[in-house]
Amino acid sequence: MEFTTDERFGTLTACLSNVGQAICPYFHIKIPKLAADRHKLVELAAKYDMGVKEIIEESINMHGIYELYNAKRLGCTEYHSVKVMSHGITKIIEAEKAGSVQWII
């Protein structure tokens, strides 16, 4: 199977949001303290090239759990994306433990 791939920009995929590298690493995490101020949570995640989606699954009573995903796929390697996300998730966990995103932004 052949793929259209560019050394710099990555792989052309059928999903426009996945153009670039074809992987999309993500984490599901419960962060109730940071979730209290969603704007600051989104701001912190963006600092590490991540996006934020709340997961709401009524059938299994899942509330307050967020998906943090790699928002930047074009022009970077898979390794770089995972490394940046790992660092970002670490900072978000530190902020959650501290009870505030204020000190880390």
Q: What is the pLDDT of residues 38-67, one digit of tens each?
A: 898 999 999 988 999 888 766 666 667 899
* Positions at the binding site for ATP: 24-28, 54-59
Sheet with strand 26-30: strands edge to edge: 26-30, 62-70, 50-57
Out of 1.10.3470, 3.30.70, 3.40.630, 1.10.287, the CATH code matching 25-104 is 3.30.70
Q: What is the pLDDT of residues 70-99, one digit of tens each?
A: 887 777 777 888 888 899 999 999 999 988
How many C-beta atoms lie closer than 10 Å to residue 4's C-beta? 9
Q: Percent of the chain, pLDDT > 70?
A: 70
| In the chain, where the domains are located | 25-104
Q: What is the pLDDT of residues 15-36, one digit of tens each?
A: 666 555 667 778 888 888 888 8
* Positions at the binding site: 24-28, 54-59
